[in-house]
């Protein structure tokens, strides 16, 4: 009987060891695939989100200059009773003496003489039809006024809007930090056929001293690969691609393989890219695998001790339990992605789902929610003056202060950098400004102490609500962003509402 028991025990142990090793291999492979897929999704989502921000900024800037042009039109229309000569003198003096109009495109055409009378930006052609074609192609917003034989044209160019947005987004990219030393960068394509000086490096947080340098498709990485050629080929074929190459790590001299996602933003000829180093992926996989082995070892011991008499069922049971562990580990990975590691607010990935759910609830049941956005005033100045550690502390303390006054059912989301979103369920529109002011009040009590100095963060807040005409949650974000812009334009440390 003892010999038989020993044989049975040996068979069971051997069977379990072989089974668990097989399960461990399967689990490791699944973990590698899951982590790689999640990292790729994160890279692609972050780049696409930046492109959405660029489009939104262009729309906001264009709307703003439309107002400027319209306001200017009101002033000029008041002078329509002047004679041709008086209007001519007024028009030239108005735009030449006011420095606020230095960046405007201004033109005065005389139909009687069939020639241009005033054209400081040199946009006119040989005829009025050619001139009008030039204006319509180059200007983002403009007005045409007829006065006698004279035709006055004034407006702001698309290039001016583009350059403003480029500068703002470049600065935002440089200031953005990610937890795993990832960062975004931008190359501007000059020649889609490639070759020498086919592109210029516009933004690169890792190598800021190289911004402005020309790139060529024959450039190689540290291993002799041709990353710029590969990137350009993928951009020309599909407008986007994933690829790997070897590059210097952020703020270090170490060279590592880098997984990168790149996408073309055609309006600027920008290739916007973001990468993560393979060593970071391998570290995550290694950590997960070690945890898996510990779990599997416990599983083997318990199974041998508790289920020695169910030889035929043991393998199926192990597979079932392993799936439960695998699901649990996946939830842990999901939890890490759904929470911002620095501030403990919800991550952008989680926040996107919350916004989508709130919008669906509004559309299906009519339950509206306040969507509030804020960012820290002069956050770049805090980082530049006191260091990123102090900037991080300001973010953490601000989130902690706000978390104490919002309900547990509301959502506080780190949208990116120093930009946050709060979803406040059931807040009536008439109370939105007052609620935002209560947030400003509690944040004003935050004190960030240093050796010889102390700072108190302040916020620029915007708030809006879903509307029947909205087709997606992103529509409310456009209004919220406009409200934040108003708060900044009006002096910061305030809340504005756009409905």
- Segment-wise mean pLDDT, segments of 10 residues, the chain, 499 residues: 59 62 58 79 93 94 94 93 93 92 93 92 90 90 93 94 94 84 91 96 92 95 90 96 81 76 96 82 57 61 62 59 61 69 92 95 94 95 91 95 93 94 95 96 93 90 96 95 96 95
Sequence ranges of the domains in the chain: 2-36+281-337, 79-159, 161-279, 348-497
Residue 222: the pLDDT is: 82
DSSP assigned state of 339: B
Q: Could you say which architecture CATH assigns to the domain 161-279?
A: 2-Layer Sandwich (3.30)
| CB neighbourhood size of 332 (10 A) | 10
Residue 481: the pLDDT is: 94
Residue 256: the pLDDT is: 77
Residue 182: the pLDDT is: 81
| Cβ-Cβ contacts under 8 Å for 325 (sequence gap 6 or more) | 27, 292, 295, 296, 299
Q: Pick left, alpha or beta for residue 270 (phi over 0 → left; psi -120 to 50 → alpha; otherwise beta).
A: beta
Residues 238, 460: Cα–Cα separation, whole Å: 39
Residues 287, 329: Cα–Cα separation, whole Å: 11
Residue 28: the pLDDT is: 57
Residue 273: the pLDDT is: 94
**Residue 372 and residue 426 in contact, taking contact as beta carbons nearer than 8 Å:** no
Task: State the fold for domain 348-497.
Answer: Alpha-Beta Plaits (3.30.70)
Element at 203 (helix H, strand E):
strand 199-203
Residue 66: the pLDDT is: 94
């Amino acid at each position: 009987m003892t010999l038989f028991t020993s044989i049975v025990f040996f068979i069971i142990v051997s069977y379990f060891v072989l089974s668990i090793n097989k399960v461990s291999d399967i689990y490791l492979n699944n973990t590698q695939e899951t982590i790689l897929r999640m990292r790729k999704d994160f890279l692609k989502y972050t780049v696409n989100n930046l492109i959405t921000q660029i489009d939104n900024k262009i729309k906001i800037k264009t709307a703003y200059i439309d107002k400027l042009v319209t306001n200017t039109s009101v002033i000029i229309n008041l002078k329509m009773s002047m004679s041709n000569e008086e209007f001519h003198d007024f028009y030239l003096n108005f735009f030449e003496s006011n420095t606020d109009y230095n960046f405007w495109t201004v033109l005065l055409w005389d139909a009687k003489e069939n020639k241009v009378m005033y054209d400081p930006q040199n946009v006119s052609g040989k005829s009025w039809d050619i001139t009008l074609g030039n204006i319509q192609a180059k200007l983002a917003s403009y007005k045409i006024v007829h006065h006698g034989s004279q035709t006055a044209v004034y407006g702001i160019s698309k290039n001016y809007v583009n350059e403003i947005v480029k500068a703002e987004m470049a600065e935002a990219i440089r200031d953005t930090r990610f937890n795993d030393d990832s960062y975004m960068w931008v190359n501007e394509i000059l020649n889609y056929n490639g070759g020498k000086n086919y592109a210029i490096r516009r933004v690169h947080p890792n190598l800021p001293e190289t911004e402005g340098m020309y790139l060529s498709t024959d450039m190689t990485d540290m291993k002799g690969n041709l990353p710029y050629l590969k990137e350009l080929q993928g951009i020309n074929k599909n407008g986007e691609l994933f690829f790997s190459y070897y590059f210097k790590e952020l703020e270090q001299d170490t060279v590592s393989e880098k997984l990168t996602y790149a996408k073309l933003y055609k309006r600027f000829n920008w290739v916007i890219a973001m990468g993560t180093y393979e060593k970071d992926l391998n570290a995550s996989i290694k950590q997960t695998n070690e945890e898996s082995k510990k779990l599997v070892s416990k599983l083997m011991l318990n199974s041998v001790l508790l289920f020695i008499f169910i030889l035929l069922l043991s393998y199926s049971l192990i597979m079932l339990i392993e799936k439960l562990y695998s699901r649990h580990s996946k939830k842990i990975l999901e939890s890490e992605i759904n929470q911002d590691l620095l501030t403990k607010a919800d991550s952008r990935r989680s926040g996107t789902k919350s916004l989508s759910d709130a919008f669906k609830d509004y559309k299906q049941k009519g339950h509206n929610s306040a969507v509030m956005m804020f960012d820290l005033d002069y956050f770049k100045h805090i980082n530049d003056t006191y260091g990123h550690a102090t900037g991080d502390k300001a973010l953490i303390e601000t989130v902690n202060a706000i978390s104490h006054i919002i309900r547990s059912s509301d959502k506080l989301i780190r949208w990116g950098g120093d930009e946050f979103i709060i979803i406040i369920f059931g807040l009536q529109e008439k109370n939105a400004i007052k609620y935002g002011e209560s947030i400003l009040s509690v944040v004003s009590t935050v004190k960030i102490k240093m050796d010889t100095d102390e700072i108190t963060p302040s916020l620029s807040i915007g708030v809006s609500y879903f509307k029947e005409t909205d087709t997606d949650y992103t529509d409310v974000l456009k209004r919220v962003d406009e409200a934040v812009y108003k708060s900044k334009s009006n002096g910061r440390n305030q809340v504005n509402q756009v409905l």
